[in-house]
Structure 1
């Protein structure tokens, strides 16, 4: 589908002539020029107008007005049922987001099977033979509302077309009116494999054919329609369905599919509270102007209800930025490029004022050339970062017991459980322990202060209790993860922090489309849902998902921007995320230069078999439907994206 932008010079009077379009006959009052764009000829003024849907209303590009005579002509059709609209206007009315739903007036209302079954196969196989023998389609002669059999049939359409993949049939379409309650019973068509759209009928076989093209290929609906039209021409047919009627039938068909989304968006191993989450954003989206409720979370902040999390000084090991900068430079030096005596003395002096244990440790490992031994470089680099200390020493009893033993001077070599805890929970400290047994007194003191600093973000903090919400946001789809509580508003939401030392994520956005969707997967590759991003991808999106939809925070979160997400979570609700471990996926780790080495998933041998790319791999499949979804309305985008991801999940669950 092509998007017509008001900035395009397609309607430039100098190019096409002001109100004078030679390619359009004056005999025609309405003609569709492009998708979502029609030309209207007003005979009273003898002028042409170009009508498009812009910002929740119709606008004439020629008159540069939303109240001209051409707009009034279009608005006069607003109350017209969809099946009575001129074909040229169907597209813009379907696209008109404030009124689109009232035009989807299909008569069929029963759920249509999605998954294959013996019944479905039999219905499709017998469809054409059945239609050839039928001249009248009508419902049963019993009222569905009051069960009365007193009534009469009334003809709705004496020549109703039934469009199939290789033929077009014509039948008489009746409805049944109850004499007792005056209920009108329409023909459903489910048992016959037909979708009743009121003025025309489309076979399930035809719509299911496009369903497979949508789910497994890159076929757009217009390409499918073009193919269908050519096939009909090959069979000598001429009264084929218009594109807009096919599109309307398809949208109705999708809305009636019998799909258990809650089951399809839930891993049969992880259940409804997955413990390992792999998340990321992808650029699949729709037009910004189709947003039904534009808004920004910052505008909702109420100072009286602000919640407080951990501060920056409570999270990091070295709070002073200048000292961190000197320490980071020191961690990168070698014997060839060592630090000068003056710089080294300045760094040690600064550390003695802030972290004397670290100053003593560096003096202890110094060999006179002012560069750290190789085995300590990763640790010093991590301590010099602005990342939370608890990424190096997470909340784990086995790890704390092992560190306590080491600080007490005990050798844990003979205790395999403690050794395993140290290796799995803090591989950086484990590597140092392996290379310098027994550890020095200065190292013991450093471990003590590290353990204390790792606990500091959680000391004296309170659990944040936020009321449950009943609203389900229209831009989110998490069928198996309903909203449990509000996100809450935090002091850190209204504070702007410097980000010079942090890892950065660079974005390049589309001028008219939203940034994309944010998806979350479990470690088995099952998508649990997605959130449309109003603005560029940020840590707020996964934080809000976890905080509002998860009973308890995940045990592990893998994200290409996990370093920033970890800090974001601790600054707002540290106790909720106390036991959560954050890791950067293997593919993106090499882009991270400023954060702690504790986020490097490759260091944790127990996770060697974990596929940290399941989200990237899952999102790659969404590229197939990008052309179909990018210019849909918000509601249609959410419906189609949900159906596509559901099908992928079900195929993976069923093997």
Structure 2
């Protein structure tokens, strides 16, 4: 949407415009038509399509050549062979077109082609503009038909300022003194329908201000979204971010300040941007010259540029102009041109520190004043923003989402959600994260939830085994903290006496539980009961001989864990465990680094002599249990790949918000038997067994941020925008749709639940993968088994010490500098802005690796 200035009385503005008679009889150029076209391109003015033939736009001030806060309707019709445009603004006259009519006549077919989705008649109120003034307070503009008239004259503008309860200030452009007119009543009901996402809602309902579903298609479209530039050839990345793998597009020219050309000539690459394919330069046609402004780092120049009348009959004010790429100049519209150095300067600034467009333009304006003595001025922030986005669309920033050392398939990937979000009011239906199933997605009808995946399936048995660890975690400071609340006789006892009493009580409790635990384990396997009895039996308790820590961790982490046994045992780990069970040698035992708790137990035992038959039998039982659980999940091969014909038509990432260095090779399957398959998880607990909560992704009025994947060298392999909130589905879907084979290790702050999520859906695909929680977040997982902690694996496998599990957090700290700027952008701008940032981030790190 364009910018929405504050409200002024429509009637008073119309009167003021009519009284200015010279404006009504002046030519279209005198009214600032070229400046009006620039205003639309810069998003300084709004021009929306709200129906098949109906439009709404800001008024225009011909003297100041600026957009006004008033709104007017315009209708485009075809009568016979004639295209008729009628505008209700005061500048429109019966025999001459206003700037709005002229703009729609010239650019209507290009910017607003006939769309069958629009209704031929708009009978309901339409919310076409909504801007936030402060926290939970919005200014809303509606277009409303009159109850007894469907003509253009019958439509009025209604403005509402306030929160989404509808209790704020309502103003109607027709009945300004009647706050309860029929137009306002219709808009009050429409507001509640949108707030509550309920077609039957009325003004009696109350919303919370952030629940409007902006992903629902509505009849609105801004001409500024179709911004194009005369320059169209690919542009090289900044020299300080160039890679050896980048193609040589052209030879860079020296700084423009050193070699200023006399004239910008037309060449064979010159085109006009009015249509696709672009009309090209014809040497046989007439060439004219005009004055243009070229903006540099320190000043601007008035130069001469060659242009040629465009051959497109629908193009009247755009002309064929030179691309100027080889000169280091970006030609925006044949009147305003910018040097590559200047545009790359902003890229350097915002990727290094927080630099909004407005602040940077202020700095450049002051720099211009210093170096030119006030003779030249820099462009407006709106103009520069539009130019920069058009520039980076052409800049070659490809081939940088891959680490030169890790290659296309890194063994270890770090996934993390980033609170880089834009406002939901800009959310478009084109956004398509990997979580969205397509028409080609297969149905996994046989996939269902499998319960009892723990190593010990019975909860009662897990509880009995856990009793032996009841002495751990005692905090001696609690004794002093509770002294004031104890009876007098209790306070008179010494700390040693209290500790002794507590130890006796614990021993009695454990002595009662030990026989039950031993019997339950022997029911499953005699070796299990024997090993538990040998280390934690009644004899060891009465003698006061504590079991070695390796056995304590072994039973707590493996046998009393609430997670699936597949968190501890991947398919390769089972193969290594099977090799040990068949041939229990020290070499085979040392290969069990993927099962840290077993590896540590066997490392302890090998110092005492040969492995006991009991230990080997316990390992055999664990192996059989792991195979049983894995086989119960197996339902078939991985999802089929997309055919090459379909894969070649992947939608542009700037529309879908899904940008990865790897192409899409599969569609996300559907799982109809899993009722919570794509349920939003934001805002709640991540799992009943995990104490870690989801991060809060900004205010509810924002989208859910982006999901990024990094390698251990902090190089981003891609990202996708999250419409609502981060969840396990984002990581799962990205892996299943983009990766040929899943990485060996997937590191994520919610890995304790991501593993079961992935294994339930695609066990064949993920059976070789370790799902690990990074070191930074593992501290918060107090109820999770350390089998899913990266640091547990690093303790037994020093080869993993090179993994920078905080690579995602490092990326987050860098991305934080663009978070505020992105929050105010439209969807396409936010996606492009984020992509350029991550490409520059990657390129600088790739250069440092070399």
Shorter-chain TM-score range: 0.7 to 0.9
> 1:457–1:290: structure 2 CA closer, same or farther, 3 Å change rule?
farther
Distance (whole Å) between structure 1 residues aligned to residue 535 and residue 823 of structure 2:
58
> What is the aligned counterpart of 1:205 among 325, 341, 346?
341
1:467, distance to aligned residue in structure 2 (A):
4.8
- The runs of 5 or more residues in structure 1 that have no matched partner are 5-9, 12-17, 47-54, 74-95, 407-411
Equivalent in the alignment of 1:388: 564
Give the secondary-structure state (helix, strand or coil) at the position aligned to 1:425: coil
**Partners of 1:178 and 1:161 in 2: how far apart?**
21
CA deviation after TM superposition for structure 1 residue 174, in Å:
3.4
Change (3 A) 1:617 1:152: same
Structure whose alpha-carbon radius of gyration is higher: 2
Structure 2 equivalent of residue 443 of structure 1: 615
In structure 2, what is the equivalent of residue 113 of structure 1? 236
Give the equivalent residue in structure 2 for 1:541. 730
**Which whole-Å CA distance do the structure 2 matches of 1:533 and 1:377 have between them?**
42
Higher mean alpha-carbon deviation, 220-229 vs 535-544, is at 535-544
Matched, 1:130 2:260: yes
* Residues 78-157 of structure 1: pairs in structure 2 closer than 5 A: 98-99=221-222, 102-116=225-239, 123-127=253-257, 129-131=259-261, 133-134=262-263, 137-140=264-267, 149-155=283-289
Higher relative contact order (CA 8 A, sep 6+): 1
Which residue does the alignment assign to 1:237? 375
After superposition, residues 190-339 of structure 1 pair within 5 angstroms as 190-198=325-333, 199-234=335-370, 235-237=373-375, 240-259=378-397, 261=398, 263-293=399-429, 305-309=443-447, 311-313=449-451, 315-333=453-471, 336=503, 337-338=506-507, 339=509
C-alpha displacement at 1:490, in angstroms?
2.4
Kindly state the Cα deviation for residue 403 of structure 1 after the two structures are TM-superposed: 2.9
Match of 1:58 in 2: 129
Residues 69 and 481 of structure 1, relative CA distance in 2, 3 Å threshold: same
SS across alignment from 1:582: strand
Does the CA-based 8 Å contact 2:299-2:376 persist in structure 1? no
Q: Does residue 1:420 correspond to 2:449, yes or no?
A: no
In the TM superposition, residue 265 of structure 1 has moved relative to its aligned partner by 0.6
Once residues 303 and 103 of structure 1 are traced to their aligned partners in structure 2, the CA distance between those partners, rounded to angstroms, is: 32
Instruction: Return the match for 2:629 from 440, 446, 457.
Output: 457
Deviation at 1:351, TM superposition (A): 4.9
Q: Is the 8 A contact 2:236 2:249 kept in 1?
A: no
Q: Name the structure 2 match of 1:40.
A: 69
Q: Deviations 1:415-450 (Å, cap 9, x if unpaired)?
A: x3x13302x222211221233454444433322220
1:591 aligned partner: 780
CA offset at residue 41 of structure 1?
4.1
Distance (Å, rounded) in 1 between the aligned partners of 2:536 and 2:268: 96
Structure 1 residue aligned with 2:306: 174
Q: CA-to-partner distance for each residue in 1:552-610, whole Å, 9 max, x for gaps?
A: 11111222221211111111111111111222222222222223322232233231232
Distance 1:564 1:518, change over 3 A: same
Which residue, 669, 689, 698 being the options, matches 1:510? 698
The CA deviation string for residues 193-239 of structure 1, in whole angstroms up to 9 with x for no partner, is 22222242222232222121122222211111111222333421365
Q: Distance in 2 between matches of 1:216 and 1:249?
A: 20
Q: What residue number does 1:15 align with? A: none
* Superposed displacement of residue 540, structure 1: 1.2
1:644 aligns with 2:837: yes
Mapped to 2, the partners of 1:35 and 1:387 lie a distance apart of 56
Question: In 2, Cα distance between the equivalents of 1:346 and 1:394?
Answer: 31
Superposed displacement of residue 264, structure 1: 0.5
1:113 CA displacement? 1.8
Going from structure 1 to structure 2, the CA distance change for 1:241 and 1:311 (only over 3 Å counts) comes to closer
Contact 1:281 1:516 in 2 (8 A): yes
1:47-97 deviation line (CA, Å, top 9, x unaligned): xxxxxxxx9832596675344437999xxxxxxxxxxxxxxxxxxxxxx98
Q: Equivalent residue of 1:306, what SS? A: coil
Asked if the contact 1:149/1:178 (under 8 Å) is kept, the reply is no
8 Å CA contact retained: 1:151, 1:180: no
Is the contact between residue 560 and residue 584 of structure 1 (CA under 8 Å) also seen in structure 2?
yes
**Contact 1:507–1:536 (CA under 8 A) maintained in structure 2:** no
Residue 492 (structure 1) shift: 6.1
Q: What is the aligned counterpart of 2:796 among 601, 604, 607?
A: 604
Structure-2 change in CA distance of 1:333 and 1:310 (3 Å): farther
Native 8 Å contact 2:269 2:281 kept in 1? yes
Q: 8 Å contact 2:412–2:746 — kept in the other structure?
A: yes
Structure 2 counterpart SS, 1:169: strand
TM-score when scaled to structure 2? 0.62
CA RMSD between the two structures:
4.4
Q: 1:284 to 1:146 in 2, by over 3 A?
A: closer
Q: Over residues 512-558 of structure 1, what are the superposed CA-to-partner deviations in whole Å (9 max), with x where a residue is unaligned? A: 22232111112232210112222332211111111111111111122
TM superposition shift of 1:392: 3.0
What is the aligned length?
595
TM-score (structure 1 length as normaliser): 0.78
| Residues 176-197 of structure 1, C-alpha deviations (whole Å, 9 max, x = no match) | 3589999964221222222222
For residues 616 and 658 of structure 2, the distance between their equivalents in structure 1, rounded to whole angstroms, comes to 49
Report the 3-state secondary structure (helix = DSSP H, G, I; strand = E; otherwise coil) of the residue aligned with 1:403: helix
Q: After TM superposition, give the deviation of residue 273 of structure 1 in Å.
A: 2.1
- Give the direction of change, closer, same or farther, for the CA distance of 1:174–1:148 in structure 2 (3 Å limit): closer
| Contact 1:142 1:150 (8 Å CA) reproduced | no
Gap change, CA 1:367 and 1:36, over 3 Å in 2: farther
Query: Which residue of the partner structure matches residue 363 of structure 1?
Result: 533
For 1:233 and 1:495, locate their aligned partners in 2 and report how far apart those are by CA, in whole Å.
Answer: 61
- Assess if the C-alpha contact under 8 Å between 2:432 and 2:657 holds in 1: no
Distance in 1, matches of 2:139 and 2:661, equals: 49
**Aligned partners of 1:274, 1:138: CA distance in 2, in Å?**
49
Distance 2:234 2:295 in 1: 20
Residue 165 in structure 1 maps to residue 297 in structure 2 = yes
Q: 1:609 to 1:166 in 2, by over 3 A?
A: closer
Deviation at 1:301, TM superposition (A): 11
Deviations 1:351-391 (A, max 9, x none): 56667654443233234239865332212222212222234
In 1: Cα distance, 2:731 partner to 2:687 partner: 19
Distance 1:636 1:328, change over 3 A: farther
How far is the alpha carbon of 1:488 from its aligned partner? 0.8
- Alignment partner, residue 401 of structure 1: 579
Any conservation in 2 of the 1:466–1:487 contact (CA below 8 Å)?
no
Is it true that 1:613 corresponds to 2:789 in the alignment? Answer: no
Larger mean Cα displacement after TM superposition, 435-444 or 613-622: 435-444
Among 576, 582, 592, the residue aligned to 2:771:
582
Give 1:431's match in structure 2, choosing from 597, 600, 617. Answer: 600
Structure 1 counterpart SS, 2:369: helix
